[in-house]
Amino acid sequence: MLHLLRKKSKGYILLETLVVVGILSVILVGMYSSFLNLYSVFKSSKTYDNTEYLYRTRVLREQLNIDASLGSDNIVTICNNADSSNSCDSHSEYANVFKKLEVQYAFLARATITIGDVYTLSNVPVTIKRYIRDLDIKADDTDVILIVAYKSNNPGYEVASINYSKTEKVAKSTFDSVTSGLDSTTIEIITKPEGNNCTNTFAYDGTTQNNLRFVGPNPCNYVTFNGETAGWRILGVMNEVDNGSGKLEKRIKIVKKNSLGTYIMDSNNHNNFPNTALNQTLQDYFETLDTTSKGMVGPALWHLGALLYADYNSDENGNAAKVYEAERDTNVWGSTSGQNCNDGQCPRATSIISKIGLPYASDVGFSVGGTDEKRATCLSSALSHYSSNSCYSNSWALKATWVFPPENTSNRGFAFNASKLDFFKVDYSRDVRPSVYLQPWVKITGGSGSQSDPYTLGI
């Protein structure tokens, strides 16, 4: 009897053990399945290598100018917001851009990185370690990768990576080739190899910012933007453009080739540009741009300093260089005693922060090419005299259009009438050709700038 009880007891123990093992197996399988499902969510969502964050990583790479030398290490932490000794805030040189781009972790890694290297990282989420571990680098042993993890509204982090050497070894575009190595100490016309039915002709403007401009009757400055093949043209590469927060950036400035149509500046008899109907027209037009093009345009501070009517018509004060200075001045209507505004908008605004604006009068003035002698004659002439001095025939940009700045009276604005600068009442209809500043990281990726082979834009 005792023997049978012992035998039955052993049977119960075996059965209980099997039940427990079975339950544990189910739990473990469930946990593993949940883990795989969670990892699948991380991988299939926009958590890794989202286009926006690849874009940000490229921006970070260009702005930080980080030394890509890792010494004897295969991976180096640049910033880690989970580690107080190596947080992003402790990198004073980079703190602002890390904060602006919402960087949480950043690493430099060699192409020969191993799993062991990855798991030596301390205070780093496992999802980020897995991303680094699974990188398909396809790079030379000497290549270095910048890996960045950003804040995310999704589970985990937005993680993206950029290869240093591949970033630096991108073949130069025609634009890079023709604009590199130019002599910035002269304002004379610089000619590079001829384009296809256009000229690669440039000139520095000699202003304080010394911007590089396309000049001549038909330079190779056509660009595809907003899906419009050769529908825009590059005014130039502008230095020290205020991005609206006080930061000065080098920006490519483009202008729409054809007019949107004729529009008045405003029907209320004032030229305080931020409050004009024309400004609203521009803002409405900007909203019609495609998403990619909108992303390529950055906000900028557009100067609205104005010219005195008595001055703009003289060669001494109305030439391109003097107009350029006046545009950036704070001399606007209402800033001087005795200048009144019946509309109550006094003094007029000295600037506006916007993603879209008009070309400046000086942009048109500096676009004159031809011979060095002809350019010198035109640059010493008032823009209102461009017709009589035949400067218009040597300028691709001289077309009928409203321009900045507003005129220094309460109800007039400046515009070109196809051959010279003139002023018109704000309720007079003129052509409108919008202008924008591209973001500093937007690159010209292809094309030769001709109308049949326009430049293309990318990051």
**Segment 247-259, tens digit of pLDDT:** 899 999 999 999 9
Percent of the chain scoring above 70 in pLDDT: 84
Which residues touch 153 (CB under 8 Å, ≥6 apart)?
Answer: none
Alpha carbon 293 to its chain's center: 10
**Lowest mean pLDDT across 123-127, 236-240, 367-371:** 123-127
What is the pLDDT, as a whole number, of residue 76?
A: 87
CB atoms within 10 A of CB 344: 8
Q: Are 441 and 62 in contact (CB under 8 A)?
A: yes
Tokens of 223: 């660009």
Tokens of 243: 């991005």
Radius of gyration of the chain (CA): 31
Element housing 281 (H / E): helix 277-286
Tokens of 306: 């104005």
Q: Are 264 and 424 in contact (CB under 8 A)?
A: no
| Average pLDDT value over all residues in the chain | 86
Q: Are 298 and 358 in contact (CB under 8 A)?
A: no
Q: Residue 110 — φ and ψ, nearest 5°?
A: -80, 155
Q: In what order do the strands lie in the sheet with 401-406?
A: 401-406, 412-416, 421-425
Q: Are 146 and 114 in contact (CB under 8 A)?
A: no
Enumerate the domain spans of the chain.
51-168, 174-458
Of the pLDDT bands very low, low, confident and very high (cuts 50, 70, 90), residue 323 is very high
Tokens of 160: 């993206």
Query: What confidence tens digit (pLDDT) does each residue in 271-314 have?
Result: 999 999 999 999 999 999 998 999 999 999 999 998 877 789 99
Q: Are 429 and 262 in contact (CB under 8 A)?
A: yes
Name the residue type at position 277: A
Q: Are 241 and 300 in contact (CB under 8 A)?
A: yes
CB atoms within 10 A of CB 49: 14
Query: What confidence tens digit (pLDDT) does each residue in 359-411 have?
Result: 999 999 999 999 999 999 999 999 999 998 889 999 999 999 999 998 888 99
**Lowest mean pLDDT across 86-95, 201-210, 375-384, 412-421:** 86-95
Tokens of 45: 């969502």
DSSP letter at 219?
A: B
Query: What confidence tens digit (pLDDT) does each residue in 13-62 have?
Result: 666 666 666 676 656 655 655 555 544 444 444 467 777 788 788 778 77
What is the pLDDT, as a whole number, of residue 46?
A: 44
What is the pLDDT, as a whole number, of residue 233?
A: 98
Angle between helices 320-327 and 372-379 (to 10 degrees): 50
Of the pLDDT bands very low, low, confident and very high (cuts 50, 70, 90), residue 351 is very high
| Maximum alpha-carbon separation in the chain | 129
Query: What confidence tens digit (pLDDT) does each residue in 227-236 have?
Result: 999 999 999 9
What is the pLDDT, as a whole number, of residue 45?
A: 42
Geometric angle at alpha carbon 436, from 311 and 275, rounded to 5°? 65
* Of 244 and 16, the one with more pLDDT: 244
Tokens of 301: 């501070």
Of the pLDDT bands very low, low, confident and very high (cuts 50, 70, 90), residue 5 is very low
What is the pLDDT, as a whole number, of residue 170?
A: 54
Between CA 242 and CA 250 the distance in angstroms is 9
Between CA 377 and CA 368 the distance in angstroms is 10
